Amino acid sequence: MKAHLITYGCQMNEYDTHLVQSQLVSLGADIVDGVDEADFVLINTCAVRGKPVDKVRSVLGELRKLKTQRPLVVGMMGCLAQLEEGQQMARKFEVDVLLGPGSLLDIGKALESNERFWGLQFKDELHGHIPPPPAGKLQAHLTIMRGCDHHCTYCIVPTTRGPQVSRSPDDILRELDMQLAAGVQEVTLLGQNVNAYGVDGGAKLAGYPSFADLLRLVGRSGVSRVKFTTSHPMNFTEDVAAAMAETPAVCEFVHLPVQSGSDRVLRRMAREYTREQYLSHIADIRRHLPHAVLATDIIVGFPGETEEDFQDTLSLYDEVGYDSAYMFIYSPRPGTPSYKHFADLPREVKTERLQRLIVKQKEWSARRNAAHVGSIQEVLIRGDAHSEGFLEGHTRGNHPTVVSRAIGADGPGVYRVRIGHATPHMMYGRVLGEGGQELPELPRLNPEAAAMSAPLQMA
């Protein structure tokens, strides 16, 4: 079998794609780069917003046409597969294999079936499964928990991924050891709410460390760089900030989604914290990590959001001064309380507010990034940038960074780089030679290619 996998959504979906891909390889499948080469195409779906759902619908339509021209098995997995919306889509487009987020280990059973296979049960064995490390990569994701015990009114995750289940620390450290043996230098701990690790259903699990102590354990493993995502402010503790400061391997990057700066909107979202409590977490982080790089998520145009509420979000952005933000127009998702009980705002109102927030974000990102010009940063180079002769990577603070292949960086690895120029979404620098020697000036990168290299920060 020749299999091709398409992934939409979050880093958890990327991890799940790797898990299923490793299962397919163990079954004898070859992983190919394109649909045209494949006889099995599997789409890993996202249901958090409407845009990725529309993309899946479009791809499934194209695959149904291909099935009339040649033998082709089509599969669908991930959050959308767990919902009635996705199941109706699967029937309409004649999907052969449907796997929910809790049934990924059923992929072999699904492919052995001679009829349509729907695997949608949450199974305990998934939580103890350890996939092989990614081959030839310096970065890896490591899931420490699945599901979520919070019930934000806009979020479909508790429905698609179920309640929170923390992985055992032994399994986490065993998977980490395998990743390190394979050459991984940076690991990102994943969970819907990593701060709540070890407290499932409101109860502390015997023998499980707190998330802060897990950071300390992982940081002592020999890994060079540790990151984590994502954090819920309700469960963030000062001890997490302290653990980051005490553990050199843990990067000084914190992604702490606020969603709104208005207490009234936060209550409608059921976020379980106030603006003041959120800002106290920011103060804790900066007390322990004065140079922390801060990122957030913001939903613009949540039902009932007034102009005054939106001004509260803008003022909070200025009070924190985020380095970067993922900004989203509110997307009503069937099955969520906000979809059922709240009236959506007009699209033009949401779009106009998003544009104002983007301007704010660019101003702060430009200011924050400019402060790094002249500094020496540790940059993990992943590989080629979109412009020939250049390589791209990121700093410990997650800043996308571009360097020239011709002046000291000849491939993936960790390099010391002096930052010479910065835009709101990208840094440009020169690799330092032995003893910190300055290497030649960085050639100019095509601005269009630079824009293509920048991470998507709005939707």
Kindly indicate the confidence band of residue 437, based on its pLDDT and cuts at 50, 70 and 90: low
**233 secondary structure, DSSP code:** G
pLDDT-wise least confident of 130-134, 186-190, 236-240: 130-134
What mean pLDDT do residues 301-317 have? 98
> DSSP 3-state helix, strand, coil percentages of the chain (rounded to 5)?
40, 25, 35
So what's the architecture of 2-119 in CATH? Answer: 3-Layer(aba) Sandwich (3.40)
Return d(Cα 122, Cα 112) in angstroms, integer: 20
Asked if omega into 423 is within 30° of 0 (cis), the reply is no
CA 31 – CA 378 distance, rounded (Å): 33
Spatial separation of the C-alpha atoms in residues 212 and 197, rounded to whole Å: 9
Q: Would the pTM count as exceeding 0.95?
A: no
- CATH 3.40.50.2300 in the chain is located at 2-119
Torsion sign across C-alpha atoms 359, 361, 365, 368: positive
Q: How many CB atoms lie within 10 A of CB 406?
A: 15
Return the CATH fold of 125-367.
Answer: pyruvate-formate lyase- activating enzyme (3.80.30)
Convert the pLDDT of each residue in 403-422 to its tens digit: 987 666 667 899 999 999 99
Nearest to 289 by CA among 220, 324, 243: 243
pLDDT at 152: 97
The pLDDT, as a whole number, for residue 124 is 73
Mean pLDDT of 277-296: 98
Annotated binding residue at 251? no
Instruction: Please answer whether residues 249 and 283 qualify as being in contact, where contact means their C-beta atoms are separated by less than 8 angstroms.
Output: no
CATH 3.80.30.20 domain position(s) in the chain? 125-367
- The average pLDDT across 292-312 equals 98
Query: Tens digits of per-residue pLDDT, 90-103?
Result: 999 999 999 999 99
Report which secondary-structure segment, H or E, holds 178.
helix 169-181
| The domain made up of 376-453 is a member of CATH 2.40.50 | yes
* Closest CA relative to residue 102, chosen from 57, 162, 158, 156: 162
